[in-house]
Structure 1
């Protein structure tokens, strides 16, 4: 490894907070200095950047990881592999990085201990954040309370799920990203299977509290006292999201016609992704109703969180190009509205709190029926049936080809792959535009949503902590 020292640095004080450790601060600075030197794929072009500029920065990352490693004894093998992968990256002349060896050595799901710290260093993109595979560094804690561990063990088995909170992070996470997924790491080849997935419940909870509080005020919505308490309590909201995420995440591989999470290996019209994500959320809602009846306070909180996040934040977040989560939120709102479980009158929103759970579970049942019937359908027919379900409640774009029915679609194409592509190409970028209600809400909430970029549980704008 050219110009990079193999000497082990002296370990820091293990009793100090990792976020304040001098080695962590050096590591962060070095990563941020490397960021503008990296290309989209993570490589560094040494024909335009002097190696004498790059090597000292990578050496700082390497020695900082060495110095911090004793603070994370459970990750000793992983952090040693990170150092090896950094050396190998330098030896290639900083071509596209390959951190497969260190990725395979990282096993956070094997020690789900409440409060356990991890240091994570990978070249990666951050979903809903930085699309480039820059080197990133994150300090995080595992959230694994006893009650959640019991539910996972006895009822909602999900051995790969790792709920986490931020301690500190580099710029790729000063974004809207709330996940740490192995799929995003730069590797020479994808592992045969992934064994863990991390979700930052503090960011999810803080974002939920900020946006929902503003929406409730803007819409004049009267909410139950316990819902008000949830919006004011960050810790309670985090506990809510770890339960929601636990059930949602496992649902991708459970039930009729299960899909891979996010249907990564499939190309489908975006409403199929939207229905899959909504199915998982509504399954969590249905289970939360049962948990509430059994005495779990978190069960009622999960219902509030799904309703508010899905109806208020999801439809008006992100752009309007194939926004599948936005579509799912619009569908939930429209379904509740058409079944008179919520009303918008005199510029005020009201929810029938006695009926909302029943009607929400009714929508879950319709989606489950679609999936069950889909087992006996060819893919094209299933896509059309799903479109018909969504368009019963959401008005398609006036220029939509799909809305004209099967006779307008290119169903005469005999090659299956070409047919699938043609059907996807016929989808409008915004196949189900925002309703007038959401157009108005988007304008009012846009500033609040923008302000949640990079938010963590240590400070929620506009919400009492």
Structure 2
């Protein structure tokens, strides 16, 4: 097949337009948003009667600077003109309400980045929102982003991985809510008076994911003495190549939530389930991306091989040692992948050195994907509680439950007169603790993971330099 080139982030069309973050109105906008954020309550409102609160005139002046900057920047982004008009309307209505709980529904509905995904296209986004894995409060945020939509990815989406709502994006500039671990821009995080019937886009910052992956993987490889194949070593050292891997991984992962033999709502929205169910769902989606990547590599897509090792290394090195040990379902998925590969002799920890059987890794990883897929397929014919126990057994075959677990003792240890959702209370916060291997790795790697807070491609390159 024709060689697939890494995309140029200053590629075609609107990508060549003036960078929003280079315009003098951008720091005005950013600083005005930063001035407003500390005044806001958790729900995004501003209590003007609270002790020490600013006057309505002071808040209004700061908001006027936000509006003025948006109007000054909007001509750089004609594709967002309707959104920016609606945004100005929402901001002004917020002021007219006396800064009550903000409502950005009109501007949310007007923002439609997935309708015209052009590689390198800029967007300026302002919403009151929380940032997943970042700030839990609905503060005002401003973000300048750029679309990642190279031709090869667009062709794959159009021909085999249909995902019309997916937006691969990179950071250009952002306010404090994104100076965090958040790597997504999701419409459901935005303050609105009522949720729309359906959302029409979802964005994932592949540059942050790639930069974080590179930093943690480099540290883990060094700590564990792992020898990488030359092409994978080159991939880990190449930010743009890693971004290509992550945007493909994310696109396939995202669509997998609604594909396959699914015994339940794939997003498990408003469902109370044991956290290992969420862990298996996220791992299923990652391993589906892995499985597709194996096929793509065989077809001549260089990104296919990169995705495989991005999944393996991020899942095995970063996920298990990231976050608190309280219902850490992503950490659980990483632990399960490592344990599965270890028990099938694909990874070996011997003489304080990690070794990977690179030839067998794709086959055995796909076998784990097959086990989870069979669990799901069988679950269609099972009652919920029986399915939960079957999933527990799958995890417990490879990961040791906490010695004090009631679930590990089986159904007889639980009060089955209660509805299933009540039995979730009997799940321990850390039902499957870290192994001794991961306890030791965590002590050495956690400071590296913590240092990736707020990382971007630019900041990663500055540190490397």
TM-score, length basis structure 1: 0.94
Can you list the C-alpha shifts for 1:146-169, whole angstroms capped at 9, x where unaligned? 000000000100000000000000
Does 2:204 correspond to 1:207?
A: no
Question: Aligned pair 1:26/2:31, yes or no?
Answer: no
User: How far apart, CA to CA, are the structure 1 residues paired with 2:101 and 2:459?
Assistant: 37
Q: Distance in 2 between matches of 1:221 and 1:63?
A: 53
Question: What's the counterpart of residue 446 of structure 2?
Answer: 446
| Superposition map of 1:59-458 within 5 A | 59-257=64-262, 262-413=267-418, 419-458=419-458
Distance 1:258 1:249, change over 3 A: farther
Once the two structures are TM-superposed, the CA of residue 46 in structure 1 deviates from its matched residue by 1.0
The alpha-carbon deviation at position 20 of structure 1 amounts to: 2.1
Corresponding residue of 1:8: none
Q: Report which stretch shifted further, 152-161 or 453-462.
A: 453-462
Q: Secondary structure at the match of 1:166?
A: strand
How far did residue 464 of structure 1 move?
A: 5.0
Distance 1:133 1:54 in 2: 17
SS, match of residue 457 in structure 2: coil
1:226-278 deviation digits (Å, cap 9, x = unpaired)? 11001110000000001101110000000001655642232211000000000
Residue aligned with 2:127, SS: strand
Cα deviation, residue 462, structure 1: 9.3
- Cα deviation, residue 92, structure 1: 1.1
1:47 matched to which residue of 2?
A: 49
SS of aligned partner of 2:460: coil
* Separation (CA, whole Å) in 2 of partners of 1:130 and 1:119: 20
* Alignment check: 8 A CA contact 1:204 1:241 kept: yes
Equivalents in 1 of 2:28, 2:463: separation in Å?
Answer: 33
* Structure-1 separation of matches of 2:204 and 2:234: 23
| Mapped partners of 2:347, 2:159: distance in 1 | 35
CA change 1:374–1:15 in 2 (3 A) is closer
Distance 1:378 1:386, change over 3 A: same
Verify the 8 A CA contact 1:262 1:277 in the aligned structure 2: no
Cα deviation, residue 314, structure 1: 0.3
Q: Partner of 1:228: helix, strand, or coil?
A: helix
Q: Check the 8 A contact 1:129/1:172 in 2, yes or no.
A: yes
**Contact 1:115–1:141 under 8 Å retained in 2:** yes
SS in 2 for 1:187: coil
Aligned residues: 447
Query: Does the CA contact (< 8 Å) of 1:138 and 1:169 recur in 2?
Result: yes
Cα deviation digits, residues 414-460 of structure 1 (max 9, x gap): xxxxx133211111011111100000111111111111110111132
Instruction: Report the secondary structure of 1:349's partner residue.
Output: strand
Match of 2:348, SS? Answer: strand
Cα distance in structure 1, aligned partners of 2:156 and 2:22: 35
Query: How far off its partner does 1:363 sit?
Result: 0.3
Cα offsets for 1:46-71 (capped at 9, x unmatched): 10222122111111111111111111
Alpha-carbon distance in 2 for matches of 1:62, 1:379: 50
- The separation in 1 between residues aligned to 2:423 and 2:382, in whole angstroms, is 17
**Cα distance in 1 for residues equivalent to 2:339 and 2:441:** 15
User: What RMSD, in angstroms, separates the aligned Cα atoms of the two structures?
Assistant: 1.3
> Unaligned 5+ residue runs, structure 1?
1-13, 414-418
Distance across 1 between alignment mates of 2:135 and 2:282: 22
Structure 1's 463 and 329: CA in aligned 2 closer, same or farther, altered over 3 A?
farther
- The 1:462–1:304 alpha-carbon spacing in structure 2 relative to 1, beyond 3 Å, is farther
Question: 8 Å contact 2:325–2:430 — kept in the other structure?
Answer: yes
